[in-house]
């Protein structure tokens, strides 16, 4: 059981974060998920911290994204596109370096977020819904700012080789 | 994109495959394909009800933590006067309980929680979701119960929102505080027509659009739904007119929608 949890810790944490997204925790009158996207940070950090991690060859990542779409009332595939963009950038970043440089990882996370949010904005407009650029911008900024904090927590709790 | 080691070739291949699958899935789902609709409804129901079960321990723990913190925050020392005061309160509550039990008996003779002049159905709120796109809820009634897209949701004669996506046994609904929500209303004694739109910056404010050029409100005037779109029943309360710091009028919601438990779905406007 412990080995199973250890083996699939990244997928399990990601799944729990999606499930807990439906528990309402308010900050300044808005839900926490309004301010930042925890899932994107987790995907990036888990992949960067462990280059061999592939979320069950991507299958778990895809299934978790479907659960997220379902719970948020989005068209299927919307979250999957975002998750795989961030995962792709993290894979690329983890494969080109010999040792971890935090600032470089943070910057490349910012690049991954910009690509992901631009595509997200396009997909939402295609869905026929209104989304304010300022909301996406705020979410992008706070997600980027929260990265070091989440990186510290995740590397401290789950990743033994995070400080490679 | 260049990947350094051969080990990552598989990862690269899988990412591309899943990106293509996701894009196809998005466009097929968006096209509202009849065959996928049934599959989507089943998948959504399975995920929603599994989530309700899976998150229940977390909610229990969260409630337990809240109760424990509250318990330790209570004043430790209780003096005699306080005990006497509490005994009096217990006696008072006992009497009130008897009175309420009699009233409840009478209310139980009336069917349902709320009585409206249109066909309605009681629904339980399974989840409240708030993110950059939506402020929405998921209810435990779907197409199997006759729920349709556009059905209004009400609580204590206050408009809560509208159904925007249906599954077999659950539905997603926009709250009126959502910035994609549009509700035609009449306001105050002069019956000014307007459209109520959610404010993306706050949950405690609703904006009014398409007001007449000249209008005057009184602080505390109520806004009611109108039957302009033939979907919304007439006369359901939407909000109360208030003044902000800059002396501008806005509509204040009458309910904390994140605390919803049960509500009523209006199925047919008679």
Nearest CA in chain A to B2: A92
Cα A17 to chain centroid distance, Å, stands at 10
Q: Does A164 fall in a domain?
A: no
Chain A (39-68) residues lying within 8 Å, Cβ to Cβ, of chain B: 51-52, 54, 57-58, 61-62, 65-67
What is the DSSP secondary-structure string of A62-121?
HHHHHHHHHHHTPPTTHHHHHHHHHHHHHHHHHHH-SS--HHHHHHHHHHHHHHHHHHHH
Residues facing B195 on adjacent strands: B184, B209
At B234, give phi and psi (nearest 5°).
-75, 145
Residue with tokens 């008996």: B105
Q: Does B2 fall in a domain?
A: no
Give the tokens for residue B54. Answer: 């899976």
Q: Does B62 fall in a domain?
A: no
Query: Which of A58, A87, A136 comes nearest B132 by C-beta?
Result: A136
Q: Are A87 and A79 in contact (CB under 8 A)?
A: no
Q: How large is the ipTM?
A: 0.87
Are B134 and A26 in contact (CB < 8 Å)? no
Domain that holds residue A19: 2-157
Give the tokens for residue B73. Answer: 């925050």
Domain that holds residue B187: 114-270
Question: Higher model confidence: residue B261 or residue B144?
Answer: B144
Residue pairs spanning A and B at CB distance below 8 A: 149
Q: Are A71 and B55 in contact (CB under 8 A)?
A: no
Nearest CA to B191 out of B161, B213, B211 is that of: B211
How many Å apart are CA A102 and CA A104, to the nearest integer? 5
A84 touches chain B (CB under 8 A): yes
Nearest CA in chain B to A78: B26
Average pLDDT for residues B150-161, to the nearest whole number? 86
Nearest CA to B197 out of A26, A132, A73 is that of: A132
Q: Does A162 fall in a domain?
A: no
Query: Which of A58, A129, A130 comes nearest B18 by C-beta?
Result: A58
In chain A, the number of structural domains is: 1
pLDDT reading at B178 higher than 90: no
pLDDT reading at A164 higher than 90: no
Give the tokens for residue A66. Answer: 């479907």
Q: Does A112 fall in a domain?
A: yes
Q: Does B260 fall in a domain?
A: yes
Q: Are B254 and B176 in contact (CB under 8 A)?
A: no
Q: Does B173 fall in a domain?
A: yes
Are A81 and B258 in contact (CB < 8 Å)? no
Taking only the tens place, the pLDDT of each residue in B216-235 is 777 778 888 887 766 778 78
* CATH value at residue B165: 2.40.10.340
Q: Is B83 helix (H, G, I), strand (E, B) or coil?
A: helix
B236: distance to nearest CA of chain A, Å?
A: 25
Query: Which of A21, A65, A132 comes nearest B179 by C-beta?
Result: A132
In chain B, the number of structural domains is: 1
Tell how many helices (H) and how many strands (E) occur in chain A. Answer: 8, 2
Q: Does B207 fall in a domain?
A: yes
Taking only the tens place, the pLDDT of each residue in A1-41 is 677 777 788 888 888 888 877 666 666 666 777 788 889 99
Q: Does B71 fall in a domain?
A: no
Are B138 and A71 in contact (CB < 8 Å)? yes
């Amino acid at each position: 059981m412990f080995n199973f949890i250890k083996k699939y810790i990244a997928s399990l944490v990601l799944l729990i974060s999606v499930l807990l997204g439906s528990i309402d925790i308010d900050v300044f009158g808005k839900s926490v998920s309004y301010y930042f996207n925890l899932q994107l940070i987790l995907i990036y950090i888990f992949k960067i911290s462990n280059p061999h991690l592939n979320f069950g060859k991507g299958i778990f990542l895809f299934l978790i994204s479907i659960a997220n779409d379902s719970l948020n009332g989005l068209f299927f595939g919307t979250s999957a596109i975002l998750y795989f963009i961030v995962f792709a950038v993290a894979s690329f970043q983890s494969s080109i370096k010999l040792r971890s440089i935090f600032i470089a990882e943070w910057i490349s996370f910012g690049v991954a977020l910009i690509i992901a949010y631009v595509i997200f904005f396009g997909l939402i407009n295609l869905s026929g819904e209104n989304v304010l650029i300022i909301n996406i911008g705020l979410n992008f900024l706070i997600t980027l700012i929260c990265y070091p904090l989440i990186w510290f927590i995740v590397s401290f709790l789950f990743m033994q080789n995070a400080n490679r | 994109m260049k990947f350094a080691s051969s080990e990552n070739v598989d990862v690269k291949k899988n990412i591309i495959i899943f990106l293509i699958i996701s894009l196809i899935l998005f466009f097929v789902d968006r096209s509202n394909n009849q065959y996928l609709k049934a599959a989507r409804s089943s998948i959504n129901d399975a995920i929603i009800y599994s989530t309700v079960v899976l998150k229940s321990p977390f909610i229990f723990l969260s409630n337990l933590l809240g109760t424990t913190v509250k318990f330790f925050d209570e004043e430790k020392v209780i003096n005699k006067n306080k005990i006497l005061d509490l005994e009096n309160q217990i006696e008072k509550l006992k009497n009130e309980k008897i009175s309420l039990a009699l009233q409840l008996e009478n209310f139980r003779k009336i069917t349902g929680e709320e009585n409206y002049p249109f066909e309605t159905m009681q629904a339980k709120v399974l989840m409240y979701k708030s993110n950059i796109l939506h402020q929405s809820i998921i209810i435990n009634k779907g197409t199997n119960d006759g729920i349709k897209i556009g059905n209004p949701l009400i609580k204590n004669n206050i408009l809560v929102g509208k159904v925007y996506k249906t599954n077999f046994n659950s539905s997603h609904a926009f709250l009126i505080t959502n910035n994609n929500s549009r509700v035609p209303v009449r306001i105050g004694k002069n019956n000014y027509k307007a459209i109520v739109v959610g404010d993306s910056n706050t949950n405690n404010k609703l904006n009014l659009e398409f007001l007449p050029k000249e209008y005057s409100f009184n602080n505390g005037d109520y806004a009611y739904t109108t039957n302009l779109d033939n979907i919304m029943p007439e006369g359901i309360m939407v909000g109360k007119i208030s003044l902000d710091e800059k002396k501008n009028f806005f509509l204040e919601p009458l309910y904390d929608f994140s605390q919803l438990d049960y509500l009523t779905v209006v199925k047919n406007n008679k």
